[in-house]
A and B are shown apart, each in its own frame.
Chain A
Amino acid sequence: DSGVTQTPKHLITATGQRVTLRCSPRSGDLSVYWYQQSLDQGLQFLIQYYNGEERAKGNILERFSAQQFPDLHSELNLSSLELGDSALYFCASSVSAGPTDTQYFGPGTRLTVL
């Protein structure tokens, strides 16, 4: 158990809908990262927050957005969902935002768009 929690574990929804994925980092960690894992693309970085502020952006679609709250939990919002958004979404956390910080991953949310 990494100490990172994610809810829900599974989410099934229809195209065009909007969903919210939630992540609580390990106690004491200030950075939260979101990754998407699909069969053909592997793990792809989406976005990072550090202590409530957006720190870095990766291949995140405009339909997706995220935020980190004062209690450091984070939410990833996915809207106008398409079939291709079906994937595993992982949250990771680290103590700070340094390049050598270990990122600890949560158990993931499996999103299925029908």
Chain B
Amino acid sequence: EDQVTQSPEALRLQEGESSSLNCSYTVSGLRGLFWYRQDPGKGPEFLFTLYSAGEEKEKERLKATLTKKESFLHITAPKPEDSATYLCAANQAGTALIFGKGTTLSVSS
């Protein structure tokens, strides 16, 4: 069964304390791996798409990487405004995104 698993479920960091979020997937024929940010009660906000193993993308303090089995979202020197739930999703064959349950990040000053 196609599946996306994210870890940890929750992560608490101090401002400036870098860390990584993990997304492992068992999706045959992966066509795209997507990262979204979701604030409480809001819709997911698109961050990155990764298409093939070895690809990396960066945006401000965030960097996403992709291997054949997992993706990482690295957060460098986070700030309190980076607090949110980060969702990973896989797209196999042009239909639905298969979402993980997310990692809820809390950054305190």
Contact = CB atoms under 8 A, between A and B. Distances in A.
Interface string B33-68: 010100001111110010100000000000000000
Interface string A66-110: 000000000000000000000010100000011110111111101
Contact of B45 (A2, A33, A55, A110): A2
Contacts of A45: 95-98
B94 A102 contact: no
A105 B87 contact: no
Interface residues of A, number: 25
A100 B43 contact: no
Contacts of A28: none
Contacts of A8: none
Most buried by A among B34, B43, B89, B95: B43
Interface of B: 31-32, 34, 36, 41-46, 49, 51, 87, 89, 91-102
